[in-house]
Amino acid sequence: MQTLLHTPLRMVWLKAAVMGSFWASMEIIMGSFLHNLRIPFAGTILACVAVWLMVAFVQVWKEDGLLWRAGLVAALMKSLSPSAVILGPMLGIFTEALLMNLAVVLLGRRPLAYLIGGGLAVLSTLGHKILNLIVLYGFDLIRVADAVFRVSAEAEFLPRTSLRDAVFLLAGLYIAAGLVAALAGYASGKGFWRRGKKTEAGFGGFHRLDTASVSEQKTSELFRRSRADNYAAPLLFLNLGAVVLALLLINGPYPLAAALFSAAYLVFCFFRYRRAVHRIRKWSFWIPFVLITLAAALLLDGIGNGWSLSTTGLLTGLRMNARALIVLTGFTAISTEMKNPAIKLILYNKGFASLYQALRLSFSALPALLDYLSDQKGKIRTWRPDFAGIAAAAETMLEAFKKEDVQKSPLIIVSGHIGQGKTSFARSMAEHLNKMELPTGGFLSPGKHNEKGERTGFCLQPLNGEKPVLLCSIHGKREWPKGGKYYFNPSALQKGRQLLLPGSLAGKSVVVIDEVGPLEINDRGWAPAIETLLRSRQMVHCWVVRLSLARKMARKWDVGSVYLFDAGNDHPEEAARLAALLARTTDRPPGKYPATGVTETHQAEGW
């Protein structure tokens, strides 16, 4: 038996999950509000709110490294957003948190650190915008902007300034905004301590946050793969390479090769990534392209040519727009492929388990927070920035997260290769559990074979003593839904779902599901029933899973410790003893289980 023990999250990660939830909910609701009203400098306003939140929280919760962890959680929650481009907002949020955390680490928890960190965090939004523009249009944009300022310097009715002076002036305004936000956050944090107790004043009714609404919002969204999504991990690297190659060609001396390759890549993206097409259909999308082309054609050589359109300037403008179109479309494609659950799974198993467990908790609380922040029409509620209300709700949420993190259903996986006897192992395990007088529910799926010994389908055999029914067959009816080479009996599928209803499993200690496979990976089959059962945390789960899918199944759902039994080498009686112990105890220390003879093999890096 191999074991992957569930280790409770450290307090700093639990608090980062709470803070990240508030941060992300503000980004979503306030960002939509500002965007819909087309308020300028929306990103700067959101950065100021983030600084206020960080400075206020860091005075209440003293854990080192809280800020960058909370920022990382909030940033990664953007990957679950339906937005087409997520890279920019994710990097912006994390950069703000990193700068503030760095200031606190270097200068300590004092007002000077908050002021410097706040100023740099808000200033980073300006740097982010400038960097985005340079990435989009290249350094030719600086030439065009400089020409605009030179023209303005010649006009008597416009202030005379240079591009550099304008950038410095704008940077000063951003820093000043960050200082004000930091002072507001400092005052909010100090005000909370001066009150000496939590208060129910203020922020959008968060003080009435129900812990049940958090704990019951369990979801597998983090590793969910919709049937509408057709991810392919190699395409992430293909898109990265294609964007780099296209930009090199556009900036090189081969315009024909650049045009052909760019056109081919754009056509590929428009057919595969529908959101890219959706963006370019909007007429507003093309306004900056037209303005930049005209500005380049008129200003780059126009001043010395009697304000006539310059061919060189026109070509420069077209090259800038081609570059921008490639970058925007390519980043849409890259952002889409980054949502691939397989990539998240790789990160999970490469040392980022704490991060993704915290992210699961944050995502589970997000619906409740959004509900309090917005009304039924999705509009932002009237609120005043009273941090006491947020802090009171944060403590409530922290207690819910603690409970959520430790009360997870243990999972026993019976695995092996095809035809290795997984179902027989599960049947024998269930028989041993019955002898122990431990109630067991669910079903088995024994195979059906023809005279030649070839497998033709599977039956669904309830563990409550009911007669088995045909689950699927290669000779099934054509109107039955098909999965792989098998046609699935709708009445058997319905029967299986009924067997997995909480009411059908009332009083049961162990539920056996044979099997959990590719359908469930794609949120079909028994997946909805499993999602519901895991919320109750009242049973030990035993799933029959192919060896190649065992790791994915263990990480798809938010379960507790996972115990992997090999149907070809381990013994069903050992699995039954373990299930009985898990069902009868709440504390499961590592090592040799008392009175069972079951010994764990702990593998810190997973299987």
Is the whole model's pTM more than 0.95, yes or no?
no
Tally Cβ neighbours within 10 Å of residue 462: 18
Cα separation, 434 vs 429, in Å, equals 9
Residue pair 555/224 in contact by the 8 Å Cβ criterion: no
Say which residues have a Cβ less than 8 Å from residue 556's Cβ, sequence separation at least 6.
Answer: 220, 223, 224, 341, 520, 521
DSSP letter, residue 571: -
User: Regarding the domain delimited by 411-584, which CATH topology (the fold level of the hierarchy) does it fall under?
Assistant: Rossmann fold (3.40.50)
pLDDT of 75: 86
What pLDDT shows up at residue 191?
76
The segments of the chain whose pLDDT lies below 70 read 4-6, 32-33, 35-37, 78-87, 151-160, 193-233, 275-285, 297-310, 335, 338-353, 367-386, 537, 585-607
pLDDT of residue 297: 66
Stretch(es) of the chain classified as CATH 3.40.50.300: 411-584
Is 471:491 a contact under the CB 8 Å cutoff?
A: no
Count of residues for the chain?
A: 607
pLDDT tens-digit readout, 148-166: 777 666 655 556 677 788 8
**What confidence score (pLDDT) does residue 573 get?**
92
Q: What is the pLDDT of residues 452-464, one digit of tens each?
A: 888 899 999 999 8
What is the Cα–Cα distance from 489 to 487, expressed in whole angstroms? 7
- C-alpha distances out from residue 103 to 20, 95, 112, 177, 507, Å: 19, 12, 9, 17, 55
pLDDT at 524: 80
Cis-peptide, bond into residue 399, ω within 30° of zero = no
